[in-house]
Every structure is written in C-alpha cells, then in structure tokens.
Chain A
Amino acid sequence: MGKTTTSANLAAGLASMGYRTVAIDFDVGLRNLDLVMGCERRVVYDLINVIRGEATLRQAAIKDKRLENLFILPASQTRDKDALTRHGVESVIEGLKTAGFEYIICDSPAGIEHGAHMAMYYADHAMVVTNAEVSSVRDSDRILGLLDAKTFRAEQGMDPVKTHLILTRYSPARVAKGEMLSYKDVIELLGIEFMGAIPESPSVLQSSNAGVPVIFDPTSDAAQAYLDVVQRFLGEERPQRFLDAPKRGFFSRMFGSSNEAPIAAVG
C-alpha cells in the first residue's frame, strides 16, 4: 500500500525543510526502507543490534548522502521478531529524542502483528497509508481501531494518537470513470483527517529502482503531492491538487497527447 515509500518521502521531506529526522524500519525479516532510500550497502548494524546493546544508536543510524539531517535506522534482516521488545523500542525512541531528533518516522510492516504494534505503540501521529481499494480501506479501518486501543497513549488515557489519511496510487481518471473509490468516499468511510492523495505515477517506481525517494525529483507530480503532505502536516495551508482528472480538450481527445499526465494511461 506504499507505507515504506511514504515513510521514505515524508522523512526526506521533513529533513529537506530543516528538521532533524530519522526513519526507523520496523519490518524485521523483510527490511526494505534501506533499499528505497538507497543506503542498503551501508548497513552494518540494525535496530535489533541497538535493542540488544550490541551497537549504539550512533553506530547503527545511517546518515543520508543527500541530506545532512536525515538518518535511517534499518531493520534486522535475520533476527527473530521477538527481539523487538516494547522496552527496547522505548529506549531507542528516547535515545533518538535525546540525540536531538525532531521527527522519528516508524515504518510499520504490513498486517497487525507484533512489528506493526511496536511501530505504532509510541506514536504521537499516525499516517494511515491506503489505496482506494476495498481490502486496503478495510485494513486501514482495522488499524485505526488498534491505534485507538493498543498504543501507549490509549493505555495511559492520554489524548489519542492523531490520525491522518494519505491515499497512494490515486488515479483521478479512474475515479472519474467510476472505477475507483474517490478520496471523498475513503474519507467518509474512515472518518479521519485527509492529508492528500499521491497520484499513480511511473516516477515512484523509477525512484525506488534508483534508491532515491521521489520527493527529490521536483518535476514529478508524486513528489509535489508528497511535499504538499509534509507541509500540511507542519500546519501550512496547501490547496489540494491531483484529485481531479485533467479535462481533455477536443484535439487531445482526437489525437491523443504525449504530455498527458501518466494517470490517463492507466484508465
């Protein structure tokens, strides 16, 4: 559904605006955030090493090559998931806060198992990443239920985790044809704050091929959409874009148009 891609882009976006940011991969056994962010060859220690005291945070956190204040804490590829303890996660997050990190992005694995639970447990905000597709929306509803009940904030009776909705792989052209749930439908079904839609775009695949988050390619519509999301998250008013299919004029309808947004090609 795009959780890792979204984590990488939000982290890069926040860092590019000057915030000291770290992204932690919680998908023990199936790590991918390092690959999407292009630092897979520089992984020496991982999250589990830190939790077990085999490495320090300073040793394990990988500094991004493009941005000074962006770091990645990779997941372990081999260890057993049970090594991810609540106490261990707490100490890692506390350690990162002490080290001056302003934003800590926890990339959750799929599903509602232990890894996902640990990724959400200490969250202040939750970005619910979903596609406009039945199974994805239903899963998001489940996750929202867990966010209400099984987090530190819920268990301590504090203010609930703030939830935000990000729609990925959105295709306005297909929505216009009635083939895809619209963003309005998904907002109505899930009932949480809408941060924006990331349009279906070939640049997302190209960027993960290259290990460079798409947000670094300002010509891409997906990058602009991610930047909007980051700015909205930081409290700026940004008008929504990429929600409507571009109107095709008579000539482009007749002869096609090479600079048509890639969205139309899918529909």
Chain B
Amino acid sequence: MSKMSTEIGAISFSHQNTTLAERDLLAFSSSEIEQSLPIFRDKLGGEVGILSTCNRTEFYASGACAPTLWEDVKDLVAGIKGVRPTRLPSPKQLYGADAARHLFRVSASLESLALGEDQILAQVKDAHEHILEAEKKSPILDQLFQLAVRAGKDVRTNTTLCQGNVSISSVSVELAKKIFGAFKRYTILLVGAGETGVNAGVHFKSAGAKDFIIVNRGQERGERVANQFDGEYMPLHRLSDACVRADIVVFATGAQHPLLDLESMRNIMRARRNRQILVIDISNPRNVDPRAGEPDGVFLYNIDHLEAIVQENLQERTDQIPLAENILDAYVQEWDAYLRARRVTPTIAALSKHFKSVRQQELDHFRNKVSEEEFALLEEFSKRMIKKLQHNPIIYMRKAASSNELRSEDLDLVIKLHGLLDDD
C-alpha cells in the first residue's frame, strides 16, 4: 500500500519581507499562473497553487515536496522570471498547520498592507479557480482554498474588520455621501488638475458623480482633465463662480498661499443662498484658510482631519483582530480534522479493494458451476455482503481519525488483519 503525504507547505513574498521592486519581479499574471502551474506540478510531483497580487506572491504545495518547497522551486521561478536564482529574495517559509493558518489570515486580510481590505478575498478565489482549472486534480489544495474563502467571508460577516474607509479618497467620498446621499444631482469641483485631484475625481466618478468642473491655473491641462471627466474647465480667477455652482469642492494644488479665505466663502455662501457645500482640502500647504469653514452650511475638511478619520477607522479595524483570529482558529481545526480524515483514505481504499478482490475470486470460482440466474443472484448477494462487512470498520476509522482518536497501531492492525500489504 502506497503512503501519500498530505502535509502542505507555503512560501510567501509580501510587503513584510520584500521591497516593491522585488515584489514586481516576482509577480505572476493570470496567464503566467495558468502556464506555469503544470510545470511546477511536474517538477514537484505534488499539488501546487499560486496566489499573486500587487502586494504578495505565494506558492502553496501539498505532497512530499512541501517541506523543501523553496529549494525545489527556486531555480524554476528564477527561470520563469529570467533572473539568476541568487537575485531572488528569501521568502517566509511555512509548513503544515502554520501554512494553512497563513492562507486563512491572507484571505481574511489580516496579512494585507491595508488591514481589512476587500480585494484579497477575490484574489484568493482566483487562485482557487486556477487550481480547479488545472488538468490534474488537486483535492488537498482545493479543500485548503475552499476553507480559506469560507474563512475570509466568515471574518467579514462576523467582525467589523473590513468596515470603515482607510484611504483619504474613500473617506472623502464617505463624507460627501453623508451630506448629499447620491451624487447624481450634485456638482464636483476639482481645483487643481494634478494626480491627486484626478484620483479624487475618479473616486467620486466611480461613486456615481456625473457633473464635474475643473479649475486649474494651466488651461491646457485643465481642459484635458475636464475632457477626461466629461466636465467643464474654468480658469483659476473664476474659482468663486465655480464654488457657487459646485456642491463638493476638492482642493489639490501646489499653490503656496490660500486660494479661499473667510470673506470669499461668506460671499460664496450668500450667492448659494446657504446651500450646503463640502470643501475638501488635500493640498500641502493648505489651499483653504481654516476660518473659511466657519459659515453655516460649510463643511471644511483638510488633510489632517481626513488622516485623523483614517487612523480612527484603522484603529477600529485593529481592535477586531483578536475576534478574527478566534474565527480562524475554528478553520485551522477544521483543516486538521480534514487532514486526519484523509490519512485513513489509503487504508480504506485498500480495504475496499481487498474485499472486491475476494468477492471476484469467489464469483469466478462459481461462474461455470451454476445457471446464469443463480450467478446473477450470487453477484447481488456477494455485493451486498461485502458492503455490509466493510461498513462498520470504515465508519469507525473515519470518525476516529476526524476526532484524532485513531492510533497508528489501529491502522496497522487493520492492515495486518486483512493482509492489505500483501495485496500490493
């Protein structure tokens, strides 16, 4: 009877142990994963899975290769990436239950650069899809990734780890939503057509904003960005007019002096008949005099205010880590139970094969000694009989393995009693 290792190994390159340049070098695109999975599998002789995102590249393997995974794949990775093996950084290496817990933590976004981010769960699902689509089956990694996806969902459902925004742009959008609700009917004014302003605009557009005004010192760039948002360009000297029309104003310029002061804001609010306005100043130095936020109906937030909200949300996420770890404990236990149950699979398969073989021998013995009808009855009788004889030992082995009560001596006894080693 053959013995198959069910342990898993993992190697991880992430923001914790590599530079951005190293992660870029090691990143695998979706098509690269598809092409290289069979190569890795042939080389290692076991199941292989690859998880690659902008912040991590990880290899998971099951089988005899698991303990020496990095040594076994190093040259292959270097070959695929076209670099010398010595140029590759040292990975974090994990084995057994530690490797499983690591993947569950990744899926729950506990290992992410931005704690509680949502994208990683979809990326784990993609890695799982690649494993399922591979020509050769990978039952152990299939089970591992299934559990990882379930663990990720469970943590998101039963903790607030992924709630609250943790980037300046998303906090700005959240604030605007709390004032205006949906953005369809409201006008967004971007003051400054640089990268920061455009990024903020993209966030508002993806949240449903349709009407944009771009105010910029340089006309050419301003008009280009206005076209990008299907909006209108206005020169900087018409900033007050633009503020009268807009509902949400994002300042992101390199101006070294305030572009909006209290007096201008008072005039703007008079012209707006006190309609609410959200002013977001993400410039450094600030473009809006803090006193401009005083009039009723003006909600002014600068980069420090937004950063404070981000930090508060991050702290709330950090407070959820112990709760998330408790949830993952249950999944690690489920994984252990699965592996233990799998350990008896070869014995069960051998036992089943042994009974079938005995049945076949006996049937062959009687084949020409009885009529066809009698032989059909014998076939049916023997089939039912071996099924019943196998039932209790198999159920016992599975249950005992799952609850960690099965000793190796028990398995040896089953093997010896039925002469399963001789069958091989």
- Decide if A and B are genuine partners: no
Which residues of B come within 8 Å of A, CB atoms?
none
Which residues of A come within 8 Å of B, CB atoms?
none
